Chain A
Amino acid sequence: MLNQFTSPFKLARKGIMGMNQRNTGYISRYNPRKLYPLVDNKLKTKIIAQRDDVTIPALIGVVRTQHDIQSIIPLLHKHPGFVIKPAKGSGGKGILVITKQESGVFFKPSGAPTHEEDVKRHCSNILAGLFSLGGSPDVAVIEALIEFDSCFDGFSFEGVPDVRVIVFQGYPVMAMMRLSTAASDGKANLHQGAVGVGIDIGSGRALHAVQFDRPIEKHPDTDRPLKELIVPHWQRLLELASSCYEMSGMGYLGTDMVLDKSNGPMLLELNARPGLAIQIANGEGILPRLKLVEKMVAEGIERTPLERVEFSKTEFSR
């Protein structure tokens, strides 16, 4: 029983950041409260991303009122696949993914059929604020389904794998891929059972993989060795992530990106409170890297996004 626990001193020595430290030392210190709506509201994020020419999935439509729901259905029938998400949702809650439709019936990534009524109800749930933080009224954002790059075939099961990069003061400090599994129901949330693969900042290669916070070697559903994973367009991904600092103004940011078959890396969403599992996926504590960046910023060194990416690639390469 006791050997399931480790000592806090050992964790501190390894530079592992805990939840309390994340909350007070980084999130509340570096993320100005007034900028939260930009990040927490996916619609606003989309608008500033478009302003700054950051690549994002196409916006199909926005459902703002109960009345809009009726008119949105014909629009949806024009798109074979789409994603409906609450603008203010968190933790992947309330995201409905439709990958295909046949004669008026929508299908989820798992192949489960969903009817028009279910989609409408989902929209009205979103409007009522069921998924938003604090239950405030919300809007439903409908965006085009990403045709994900086949380079990840076998690494992900029934879902879009995404790349999360933690960007601290504009420097990409740590990265991981989140691969959906049967257990996570096609979602890329680690606490629901998605696999997290730590990615080397220098090369975009897999370092180490975990599921449910415990190390694994192979994808649980496809048995593909996770060590073989290499993220293509790595340089572009890092630049995209790094530019989110200027775009959002957030000092400590989780950037979630995907690789689209035709459009390359795309920003999916921003997260002002990125989780700590990325450390487990990387097999390394994040604090030494954050401290290094803090030291540079304190010395007044200023860099362009490209320079920051180069710095991170040399310093945080493993």
Chain B
Amino acid sequence: MSSRNIFYFIVTLCMLIGISMTMYRHVQFEVPWFPGEKRQIWSIEAKVEFDAKGESVEAVLALPLTQRGYTRIHESTASLAYGLSFVNDQDNPRAIWTKRTADGHQEMYYKVDFLVDPKAADIYQPQMPDTPFTEYPEPYFTAANHLAKQAEEVSADAYSFTRELIKALTDDAASKSQNTGLILDYKPKNRLIVDLLNNADVPARIVRGLQLEDGRRRQGITEYIQVFKDENDWQIFDLSNGIQGRPDNTLLWEYNGNSLLEVVGGKDSQVTFSMLLVEQSAQSAVAPKISEADFLNFSIDSLPLEEQALFKGILLIPIGVLIVVLLRVLVGLKTSGTFMPVLIAMAFMQTSLMTGLIGFIIVVGTGLVIRGYLSHLNLLLVSRISAVIITVIGIISIFSVMSFKVGLTEGLKITFFPMIILSWTIERMSVLWEEEGPKEVVMQGGGSLLVAVLAFLAMNNDYVRHLTFNFMGVQFIVLGIILILGNYTGYRLLELRRFQPLANRED
């Protein structure tokens, strides 16, 4: 009895592993359940321009990273004859273009794609800045202190203090007051707020964000105030209205208080942005995100493309096997050989269904006729099967050439059929014919083809392909189902018909 318990334990384990792996992939990496789901991607291009002075040039552009709401999935650059290096420092990621000598107007482009991703989190932790005390000359200093004091009185913490400060410097009424007018003349609003916050021992600095708007070109960057409560707790404030929190559709481009663009050996430098919202299939959108993930993300996405394509086929085999198990254990269909239908179905995957079916029937039919003659030659089995293989190759060649001449390139796909499978099928069918007659050949051959077609339809289903390729957990679930089916002792569907006279007999 305990062996049964172990069995149920294994089945439960398979199912649990399968389901949790699948859920993990879906939740963590947002691999969609359905193929063809669309995702929004912001494609942003930064254009760096400056006039070179004819000496060595170094241009450094701050780069954005994956952050709340946006996952960076792809980046590329374009520049004429510049050396390029990326510094992937989390505190200060940047692109550095270098050139020995340059003259005249220079342009370089940095293009980055961000996936709109509600689950994305900041992958960086900004360093809390120091709070240097800044003194202004009088009368500005008194005015500023007065302003700060007023704001402090109506606030409770660093964030509300910031809000009040921005409000005081933005408010229509306030802007008319002499006090604010005076200091705003002395210092721009953004610097002023940072200074006042720092003077009150609140770490704060200016960061830069990009307002995302579809189809915008040559857009500049927007400044925000970043205020720290402590090491891990910081907020972004909109300078124009004092609203706390990151505004919607805003990508933080530079958030460490570093410069956005530094150019050595050039002047009149500026960076402008163009952006485009594109819809992409969720599949390809999340692919880069997955390939960058850690080992926990057990997936074949990390393999080279060629191997991936191979695995795509291999991972479908369990589905075909499942169909065969279902049809044999639950329905009771007879097939010639247990997994022959799966192999035929795999061949159909290469040839497409109709071509495959017609080709299979033509080749096996012709093969049967030729094999009938071979049996008269009184050959040993091994050489006879070998002869059948060569004959099959001959049939396939003739079939391909003829269909090509007629203009049916579809016919060429017949070459995808595995020769050995075809030959062995012909041999078995032929023996079956001799021993039990053509009826049995049609029954078993038809049964195999029916199962093969059903297995093909399952394996070729977009949804199934999507699930098996993207969710390794599905393999465990299929394994679990097959184990459960192996434990099924009930009646097969066709047995309900077979035993029908027996069941209805009156005793």
A interface with B by C-beta (< 8 Å): 4-8, 10-12, 14, 16, 18-21, 24-25, 66, 93-94, 117, 120-121, 124-125, 128-130, 192, 210, 213-215, 276, 279-280, 283-285
Q: Could you tell me the distance between the alpha carbons of A7 and B332 in the complex, rounded to whole angstroms?
A: 16
B457 on the A face (CB < 8 A)? no
Q: Is the CB of B495 within 8 A of A19?
A: yes
Known: A7-B496, A20-B489. A213 touches B501 (CB 8 A): yes
Residues of chain A within 8 A (CB-CB) of B489 are 18, 20-21, 24-25
Known: A6-B504, A129-B381, A130-B381. A11 touches B491 (CB 8 A): yes
Please name 20 pairs of A and B residues whose Cβ atoms are closer than 8 Å in the assembled complex, sorted by A: A6-B496, A6-B500, A6-B503, A11-B496, A11-B499, A11-B503, A12-B491, A16-B499, A18-B492, A20-B488, A24-B489, A66-B380, A94-B435, A124-B381, A128-B382, A130-B381, A130-B431, A192-B436, A210-B501, A280-B501
Q: Could you tell me the distance between the alpha carbons of A172 and B500 in the complex, rounded to whole angstroms?
A: 25
Residues of chain B within 8 A (CB-CB) of A8 are 490-491, 496
Q: Could you tell me the distance between the alpha carbons of A120 and B377 in the complex, rounded to whole angstroms?
A: 12
Q: Could you tell me the distance between the alpha carbons of A128 and B383 in the complex, rounded to whole angstroms?
A: 10
Residues of chain B within 8 A (CB-CB) of A285 are 502
Q: Is the CB of A280 within 8 A of B380?
A: no
Q: Could you tell me the distance between the alpha carbons of A4 and B332 in the complex, rounded to whole angstroms?
A: 16
Q: Is the CB of B490 within 8 A of A213?
A: no
User: Size range of the interface on B?
Assistant: 20 to 34
Nearest CB on B from A317, distance (A) = 15
Q: Is the CB of A5 within 8 A of B501?
A: no
B497 on the A face (CB < 8 A)? yes
B498 on the A face (CB < 8 A)? yes
Q: Could you tell me the distance between the alpha carbons of A130 and B503 in the complex, rounded to whole angstroms?
A: 38
Q: Is the CB of B503 within 8 A of A21?
A: no
Q: Could you tell me the distance between the alpha carbons of A10 and B497 in the complex, rounded to whole angstroms?
A: 12
B505 on the A face (CB < 8 A)? yes
Q: Could you tell me the distance between the alpha carbons of A121 and B380 in the complex, rounded to whole angstroms?
A: 7
Q: Is the CB of B380 within 8 A of A10?
A: no
Residues of chain A within 8 A (CB-CB) of B503 are 6-7, 10-11, 14, 16
Q: Could you tell me the distance between the alpha carbons of A18 and B329 in the complex, rounded to whole angstroms?
A: 11
B2 on the A face (CB < 8 A)? no
Q: Could you tell me the distance between the alpha carbons of A21 and B487 in the complex, rounded to whole angstroms?
A: 9
Residues of chain B within 8 A (CB-CB) of A214 are 501
Q: Could you tell me the distance between the alpha carbons of A117 and B379 in the complex, rounded to whole angstroms?
A: 11
Nearest CB on B from A110, distance (A) = 13
Q: Is the CB of A4 within 8 A of B497?
A: yes
Nearest CB on A from B325, distance (A) = 11
Q: Is the CB of A283 within 8 A of B496?
A: no
Residues of chain A within 8 A (CB-CB) of B497 are 4-6
B178 on the A face (CB < 8 A)? no
Q: Could you tell me the distance between the alpha carbons of A129 and B298 in the complex, rounded to whole angstroms?
A: 44
Known: A125-B381, A130-B431. A283 touches B495 (CB 8 A): no
Residues of chain B within 8 A (CB-CB) of A4 are 497, 500
CB contact between A20 and one of B329, B378, B380, B382 (< 8 Å): that residue:
B329
CB contact between B495 and one of A18, A24, A128, A210 (< 8 Å): that residue:
A18
CB contact between A280 and one of B329, B436, B502 (< 8 Å): that residue:
B502
